[in-house]
Amino acid sequence: MPLLWPLLLSAALFGIGVYGVLARRNAVLALMGVELMLNAANLNLVAFDVWLRDVLVSGQVFTLFTIALAAAEIGLGLAIVLRLFRAYGHVDVDRVGGEPATVLGGVEAER
């Protein structure tokens, strides 16, 4: 098959992922956009690796590592989102920033 097809698919998915990160109001949905971007990169790597028939299979190995790191990252990212939720009571990225309603999540601020 033409190399371009997976490549163009990956470019399209990357653009959609960018839109998701930039335009979604909920933090979790923004993280979904990040996942899309990572997947686009993975597809790109795999396509090139298969095309080149690399001796070290570096593209696919890299893809595996990327998947593992994505899992780690999404775990941590969601823990942070949870902290954000505990502090502000919502995860709207437009409204966070400034003095949180509760300090560092879980402890009532003394006013």
Residue ranges in 22-81 that form contacts with other proteins under rule CB under 8 A: 22-33, 35-36, 39, 42-43, 46-47, 49-51, 53, 56-58, 60-61, 63-65, 67-76, 78-81
CA gap 42, 66 in Å, rounded: 7
Q: Cβ 87 to other proteins, closest distance in Å?
A: 11
> Quick check: 59 and 3 in contact, CB under 8 A?
no
- Mapped onto helix, strand or coil, the DSSP state of residue 25 is coil
Rg (CA), the chain: 19
- Mapped onto helix, strand or coil, the DSSP state of residue 26 is strand
- Residue 78 or 101: the one with the smaller Cβ distance to other proteins is 78
Residue type, 29: L
How many binding residues for other proteins (CB under 8 A)? 81
Bridge partners (DSSP) listed for residue 55: none
Q: Compute how many other C-beta atoms are within 10 angstroms of the C-beta atom of residue 88.
A: 18
The answer to the question of residue 96 lying near other proteins (CB under 8 A) is yes
- Residue 15 or 101: the one with the smaller Cβ distance to other proteins is 15
The answer to the question of residue 87 lying near other proteins (CB under 8 A) is no
The answer to the question of residue 98 lying near other proteins (CB under 8 A) is yes
Query: Binding residue for other proteins (CB under 8 A) from 12, 99, 110, 111?
Result: 12
